[in-house]
Chain A
Amino acid sequence: MSSSIPTHWDKEVDVIVLGTGGAALTAAVAASESGANVLVLEKTHQIGGTTAFSGGVPWIPLNHYMKEAGFEDNREDAINYIKRLALGRADDHMIETFVDKGHEVIRFLHDHTPVKFVTPKSYPEYYARMDEALKHGTRSLDPAPYDLNEIGEWGPLVRQNPLFPPLTLEEGGAVGGIDFQVVAERMQNNIVTMGRSLIASLFKACLDRGVETLIETAGKELIINEDGQVVGLIAETKVGEVLRIAARKGVVLASGGFEWNKQLVRAFLKAEFTHPVTPPGNEGDALMMAMKAGAALENMSEAWWYPAMVDPTFEYEDNVMAQLGSGRMGPNSIVVNKYGRRFVHEGTTYNDMPRSFFNYDPVKIEFPNEAPVWMIFDQQLKDSQLIVTMTPGDPAPEWVDQADSIRELAEKIGVDPDGLEDEVRKWNEYCEQGVDPDFHRGTIQFEALTNGGGSPANNLGKIEKGPFYALPIYLGALGTNGGPKINENGQVVNFRGEPIKGLYAAGNASGNPLGPIYPSAGGTIGPAMVFGFLAGQHAANS
Chain B
Amino acid sequence: MMPQGTHTVDVPLDIQTIWNFVHDMNNWAPLVPGYIEHEILSDRRSTWAFKGDLGFMKKTVKLQIDIQEWNEPSEVTFDLKGLSDNFKGGGYFRAEAIDDKTTKMSGHLDITAGGMMGAMVNQILTKFVPQTAEELTEAIVEKLLEINLVK
Q: Which residues does A use to contact B, with CB under 8 Å?
A: 160, 162, 165, 180-181, 183-184, 187-188, 312-316, 321, 391-394, 397-398
Q: Please state if A314 and B119 are interface contacts (CB–CB under 8 Å).
A: no
Interface flag for B124 (CB, 8 Å): yes
A314 and B57 within 8 A (CB) = yes
How many residue pairs link A and B with beta carbons under 8 A? The number is 52
Shortest Cβ distance from residue A534 to the other chain B in the assembled complex, whole angstroms? 33
In the complex, the answer to whether B56 meets A160 with C-beta atoms within 8 Å is yes
CB–CB B120/A183 < 8 A: yes
**Known interface pairs A314-B58, A316-B57, A321-B57; A398-B84 also in contact (CB < 8 Å):** yes
26 A-B residue pairs with CB within 8 Å: A160-B55, A162-B56, A162-B57, A180-B117, A180-B118, A180-B120, A183-B119, A183-B120, A184-B1, A184-B119, A184-B120, A187-B123, A188-B123, A312-B60, A313-B60, A313-B61, A314-B58, A314-B59, A314-B60, A315-B57, A315-B58, A316-B57, A316-B58, A391-B115, A393-B115, A397-B84
Q: CB distance A313 to B84 under 8 Å?
A: yes
For B60, the closest partner residue in chain A by CB is: A313
* Cβ-defined contact, B119 with A180, below 8 A: yes
Binary contact track B72-115/A, C-beta < 8 Å → 1, others 0: 00000000000010100000000000000000000000000001
Tell me, rounded to whole Å, the shortest Cβ–Cβ distance linking A325 to chain B. Answer: 16
Closest chain A CB from B5 CB (angstroms): 17
- Cα distance, A162 to B115, chains bound together (Å): 19
With both chains docked as a complex, state the minimum distance between the C-beta of A281 and any C-beta of chain B, in angstroms.
15
Complex CA gap A315/B115 in Å reads 22
Contact B115 A394 (CB under 8 A): yes
A393 to B118, CA, bound (A): 13
Residue on B with the closest CB to A397? B84
B45: CB under 8 A from chain A? no
CB distance from A183 to the nearest CB of B (A): 4
CB distance from B4 to the nearest CB of A (A): 16
**B120/A187 in contact, CB under 8 A:** yes
Q: For the complex, is B51 an interface residue (Cβ under 8 Å from A)?
A: yes
- Answer whether A180 and B116 are a contact pair too, CB < 8 Å, given A187-B124, A188-B123, A315-B51: yes
* Cα–Cα distance between A68 and B84 once the two chains are bound (Å): 47
How far, in angstroms, from A398 to B85 measured CA to CA in the complex? 11
Q: How far is the CA of A486 from the CA of B87 in the complex (A)?
A: 52
Interface of chain B residues 29 through 60 with chain A (CB within 8 A): 51, 55-60
Complex Cα distance, B59 from A397, in Å, reads: 14
CB distance from A517 to the nearest CB of B (A): 31
A462 and B124 CA atoms in complex are apart in Å by 38
Within the complex, which residue of B56, B57, B58, B120 is in contact with A165, where a contact is CB–CB below 8 Å? B120
Nearest Cβ on chain A to B111's Cβ, whole angstroms: 15
B132 within 8 A of A: no
Among A183, A394, A397, contact of B123 (Cβ-Cβ < 8 Å): A183
| Distance between B84 CB and nearest chain A CB, rounded to angstroms | 6
Question: Which residue from B55, B59, B124 sits with its C-beta under 8 Å from A313?
Answer: B59
B79 to chain A, nearest CB (A): 19
Q: State the CA gap A313–B57 with chains docked (Å).
A: 10
Evaluate contact between A184 and B115: CB separation under 8 angstroms.
no
In this assembly, does B64 line the interface, its C-beta being within 8 Å of a C-beta of chain A?
Answer: no
